[in-house]
Structure 1
Amino acid sequence: MCQCETNEKVNELIEKKQYYHSYQPLFRFSDWELVGYEAFFRCESFTPEVLFTTLLEQDLMYELDTTSIYEAITSYAQSMTSAPKNLFVNILPSTLLHPSLPSFLEKLQATNSVPNRYIIFEINEAEQITDYRAFGEAVRRLRQDGFRIALDDVGKGVASLQRIVEVEPDYIKLDRYFATDLSSSEKKQRMIQLLVTYCRNHTFLILEGIETPEDLAAAKVLGVDIGQGYVLGKPGSLHHMNS
């Protein structure tokens, strides 16, 4: 497929909303209570790498990011038949800094039935942050509106530690690297213990990508607050939330 055809298909993807979201549960270790769900953007037409590159080239990243956020939250709200749980939705740093974000948030709050306090924006590691002052102000505006903040894939990118200090997130989501063979890796266990100590009493620590009962048990013993991964529940359609 030539680049012009790719560009046309990306535009069609956005205009016709040729994508969907899967929702994966998160559980609190202290009592195995369902904490909420993370919404994952899914598209059958492109690999994530091709889509990301094309969106950057066409300056369409903000448009798709906000459209995806809106659809993820709206679909979730329409599916709920009882009190809402937390919904984690990904957001790019460039979207947070975009001048049109305040008007988007106004639209979201005017049409969305899920209270803001149940929506956690996961700041994605895919982009670097060059202006931490402006970034910090954007995060403060989200909090003023009642939204909460998570840092996603912590430990994967080089800027993770600085973001933790600057953002002071409500949730830290550890990259799945730390969950793999956690039960047999003393190095990973020591690192997680350090983060558990840092997060105590002010930030919830979430471990992503837990796939075995042994690693699940290790995370719980180490004091991780919340778990997410295939051993707890795979991403799926909304119908499973009410089944």
Structure 2
Amino acid sequence: MILWNKGRKVNERIVSTSSFTANNIEDISLDSYLMSISQVSGLRFQPIVFLNNGQVIAHEVLSAISGDPALFFSSLCEELHLAIFLWQLEEVRHLPESCWFNLPVAVFSEPYLISELIAAGPAMENISIELQDPENIQHLNPLQFNRLRSGVRRLQQHGWNIILDDLTSTCAPYLNENDFKFAAVKFDRTELRGNPDLEQQIHHARSLSSVIVLEGIETAEDLKIANTCKADAGQGFLWPERKVNCYVPEVVARRALLWGQRLEHIRKQRVAVNAHL
């Protein structure tokens, strides 16, 4: 995944509670959310291609950002991630092709947001969700890890295809087949070059999924490496992306604000309960 993996460390937000009151969060947070969504100028569609025949099997859908992508994604809270995700779904709902979208560990680890996602509508066969930042799994405490695993399984039970994005040799030890199964596993672009163990790691990753995608393919040499390592599919600038201009409506920010307010209340309740244990 190229852009949508720049979110904050998951534990910074999961265990925090805001000092804002219910009265002033409306004034402060809505403006912040509106400022964030105003930076989205469209959607990018990056093809994911079977290596054996060149067939496009899906497109990863990313937000096109008018400003600094790293700064933008690092500033997003999980409720805004989810609100933008649902907006993206609406924008592509009419398309017949398969589309893969991104959500961070922080969303998968929050039971309330998983419930909101399930309540938003039924899963679609041509839509998959990428767990985009597995490097953040190492920052979870046991309770948060259980919530992550539960979130993935709840969505799968409701028909969602879940894909593991950006797998690296660093985060691989935190994942095993006893905890997770995925519709596909995508190796991070940094693994393509200079990793002598890539073929072996791809083989091991098949315990998580039978479909392996290698990201970062930009040249014929990259494509050769991907085939040599026995990946099933590839993604990268070797295959041109397309862009659709569109803008996020204000209702997305207001939806995120509502979820944020509810999350503040839920997390304060959790802190109160833990304080009495």
Q: TM-score, normalised by structure 2?
A: 0.66
- Counterpart Cα distance in 2 of 1:224 and 1:65: 30
Separation in structure 1 between the aligned mates of residue 115 and residue 30 of structure 2, nearest angstrom: 29
Alignment partner, residue 83 of structure 2: 67
| Alpha-carbon shift at residue 176 of structure 1 (Å) | 0.6
| 2:239 equivalent to 1:226 | no
Contact 2:46 2:60 in 1 (8 A): yes
CA 41–160 in structure 1, closer or farther in 2 if over 3 Å, else same = farther
Shift, 1:219, TM fit: 0.9
Question: What residue in structure 2 maps to residue 121 of structure 1?
Answer: 129
Q: What is the CA-CA distance between 1:16 and the residue it aligns to?
A: 5.6
Contact 2:40/2:64 (8 A) holds in 1? no
Match of 1:179 in 2: 192
TM-score of the aligned structures, taking structure 1 as reference length: 0.74
Correspondence 1:23 to 2:67: no
What percent identity do the matched residue pairs reach? 19
**1:107: Cα distance to partner?**
1.6
**In structure 1, what is the Cα distance between the partners aligned to 2:220 and 2:37?**
42
Question: How much does 1:217 deviate?
Answer: 1.9
**1:224 shift after superposition:** 0.5
Is contact 1:76–1:238 with CA below 8 Å preserved after alignment?
no
Q: Distance in 1 between matches of 2:91 and 2:115?
A: 21
Deviation at 1:191, TM superposition (A): 2.2
RMSD: 2.8
Deviation of 1:43 after TM superposition, in Å, equals 2.1
Cα pair distance change 1:221/1:66, threshold 3 Å: same
Aligned residues: 211
Separation (CA, whole Å) in 2 of partners of 1:123 and 1:193: 22
Match for residue 237 of structure 1?
243
Could you say which residue in structure 1 is the equivalent of 2:152? 139
Q: 2:202–2:230: 8 Å Cα contact kept in structure 1?
A: no
Deviation at 1:62, TM superposition (A): 2.3
- In the other structure, the counterpart of 1:3 is none
Name the counterpart of 1:48. 69
Change (3 A) 1:64 1:42: farther
Instruction: Sort the Cα spacing of 1:74 and 1:200 in 2 relative to 1 into closer, same or farther, 3 A.
Output: same
Unaligned runs of 5+ in 1: 1-5, 56-60, 110-114
Bigger relative contact order, structure 1 or 2 (CA pairs below 8 A, ≥6 apart): 2
Give the whole-Å Cα distance in 1 for the aligned partners of 2:30 and 2:97. 37
Q: 1:217 to 1:52 in 2, by over 3 A?
A: closer
Distance 2:244 2:210 in 1: 28
Is contact 2:98-2:127 (8 Å) kept? yes
Equivalent-residue separation in structure 2 for 1:154 and 1:121 (angstroms): 15
Does 1:94 pair with 2:106? yes
Q: Secondary structure at the match of 2:237?
A: coil
Distance of aligned partners of 1:202 and 1:154 in 2 relative to their CA distance in 1, 3 Å threshold:
closer
